[in-house]
Amino acid sequence: MAELPNALKLYLVNSNPSSVVSVNPINLTVNSPISPYSGSSWITPVWVVSRTDNQRVYVLDEGAGTVSAINTFSDTVVAAPASVGVGANFMVYDPNLDRIYVTNPTASTVTVLDATTDTLPATQLAVPNPVNLAVQPPYGGRFYVTNAVLAGTAPNQRVTATVTVFSAVDLSVMTTVPLTSLPRAPGCPAQTWSELSVAASADGSRVYVGNCDAGNTAVIQTSNNTELLAIQAPNGAIPAAYLNVNSVSQSGLNTTYGFSPISGPTITAGMSVTISGMRSSGNNGTFSITAVGTGTFTVLNPAGVSAPGETGTGVALTPQSPILVLAGTQPSN
């Protein structure tokens, strides 16, 4: 949905069945469906944004791979849609530069559309698996693209998460910020905007990334484009899994524990596990499970020690998975 800044119309896109309609918020009446451009059809409309002058809204159709400009007075598509590639599923309007940014994880592109004209002239940038994008306030001098690169096959896929920082002046890459990379968490929608949701603070000093697979929110300092910290999401309401730990082995930075379940749900990669009762202190602690095998699980633990006769207990919890990050302004007194 997207509401006009003057609050006179609300636009809704529906991917199934495919439709684009406007609603009059004052009396809650629904207007006639908006027809696509002559000779084309709505296939999978997934996103809509409004221009700040109230005169245009833009509809992204993932199935058609297009962005259409709609006149808000007549609710008609005013020009042939701009091509952004099939699979594009997220877009942002930048009022500072009068641009639209569109991410396409399928084609690994970000398309920059010039919204000063209804034909929407496009510049396409090659970006690995872009899923979300935020423009840096207050002037839009940079934009931050989150990338989720998948490797392997289900159910053992891993996600390499990064943020690519672009200059909005010349559309060049300024730097890439690495984030936590882990096995893909069950329930996290792969290759969609909610896998790595991103938002910028109103003063432009921070960018926040909700990392669904890692279960945390990264805080990036924009003055030097580095990650300050990753705030772990609180644990969910899913009951804990209780384990007997009966062996331990160390390989490089990873510790693998042998275990048998006592009660609770089946453990999976991405859960947080607290190990206690082991004779070697380096084997105790709270870790994120990176892999689960038959009777074993592995964590990142550089301090782990291979030792015979190690036994203890474990409690595994399922963290929440951030899928939407919003940044607002602090009200003044």
Q: Residue 333 domain-assigned?
A: no
Q: Residue 294 domain-assigned?
A: yes
CATH number for position 262: 2.40.30.180
On whether both 179 and 198 belong to a single domain, the answer is yes
On whether both 77 and 153 belong to a single domain, the answer is no
Q: What is the per-residue pLDDT for 57? A: 98
On whether both 137 and 62 belong to a single domain, the answer is no
CB 77 within 8 A of CB 95: no
On whether both 108 and 175 belong to a single domain, the answer is no
On whether both 7 and 90 belong to a single domain, the answer is yes
CA end-to-end span of the chain, whole Å?
A: 32
Q: Decide which of 187, 208, 233 is a domain's last residue.
A: 233
CATH number for position 64: 2.130.10.10
- How many domains would you assign to the chain? 3
Q: Residue 225 domain-assigned?
A: yes
**Which helix (H) or strand (E) is 262 found in, with range?**
strand 254-263
Q: Residue 118 domain-assigned?
A: yes
Which residues make Cβ contacts (< 8 Å) with residue 296, sequence separation at least 6? Answer: 256, 257, 258, 259
On whether both 212 and 266 belong to a single domain, the answer is no
Range of the domain at 138: 127-233
CB 70 within 8 A of CB 78: yes
Q: Residue 332 domain-assigned?
A: no
pLDDT digit of tens for each residue in the chain (333 aa)? Answer: 999 999 999 999 999 999 999 999 999 999 999 999 999 999 999 999 999 999 999 999 999 999 999 999 999 999 999 999 999 999 999 999 999 999 999 999 999 999 999 999 999 999 999 999 999 999 999 999 999 998 887 667 788 999 999 999 999 999 999 998 777 777 788 889 999 999 999 999 999 999 988 888 999 999 999 999 988 888 777 889 999 999 999 999 999 999 999 999 999 887 889 999 999 999 999 998 889 999 999 999 999 999 888 999 999 988 788 888 888 665 444
Q: State the Cα–Cα distance between residues 321 and 333, nearest whole angstrom.
A: 34
On whether both 228 and 255 belong to a single domain, the answer is no
Q: Residue 326 domain-assigned?
A: no
On whether both 199 and 258 belong to a single domain, the answer is no
On whether both 116 and 138 belong to a single domain, the answer is no
Peptide bond into 17 cis (omega under 30): yes
On whether both 46 and 107 belong to a single domain, the answer is yes
CB 196 within 8 A of CB 159: no
CB 313 within 8 A of CB 244: yes
On whether both 282 and 183 belong to a single domain, the answer is no
Q: What is the per-residue pLDDT for 231? A: 87
Q: Residue 324 domain-assigned?
A: no
Question: What is the phi-psi region of residue 285: left when phi exceeds 0, alpha when psi lies from -120 to 50, beta otherwise?
Answer: left
Q: Decide which of 233, 261, 292 is a domain's last residue.
A: 233
38, 44, 46, 47 alpha-carbon torsion, rounded to 10°: -10
Q: Decide which of 233, 264, 299 is a domain's last residue.
A: 233
Q: Residue 1 domain-assigned?
A: yes
On whether both 278 and 313 belong to a single domain, the answer is yes
Write down the pTM of the prediction: 0.82
